[in-house]
Amino acid sequence: MPIKMLFTPNGSIVVGGDLSELKLTDSTGKPIDISGETKLFLCRCGASKTKPFCDGSHETAGFQAAEAAAAPG
């Protein structure tokens, strides 16, 4: 199953699908263990205290996406 990404309106990036081959690193290049995960919620507002993961801070930060993601197809 391919990896799919969904940009939620004014919220996180939801990453799902077969994540077994996905490699995620922090800002220093250190690998982040995501083994066993089937879905990830990535921060795109910059306010999360658990970066690169979303902690819901976009709701209190008033995050507004600059543009909407393109529709599939």
Tens-binned pLDDT, residue by residue, of the chain (73 aa): 789 999 999 999 999 999 998 999 988 999 999 999 999 999 999 999 999 999 999 999 999 988 766 666 5
How far is the CA of 13 from the CAs of 34, 70, in angstroms? 16, 13
Cα–Cα nearest to 52, from 61, 40, 65, 39: 40
- Is residue 24 within 8 A of residue 32, CB to CB? The reply is yes
From 24, 34, 60, 30, select the one nearest 45 (Cα to Cα). 60
Q: What is the pTM of this model?
A: 0.83
CATH of domain 1-23+34-60: 3.40.5
Closest CA to 11 of 50, 51, 42, 52: 42
Instruction: Tell me the domain boundaries of the chain.
Output: 1-23+34-60
Residue 66: the pLDDT is 80
Number of other CB atoms surrounding residue 54 within 10 Å? 21
Structure confidence at residue 27 (pLDDT): 87
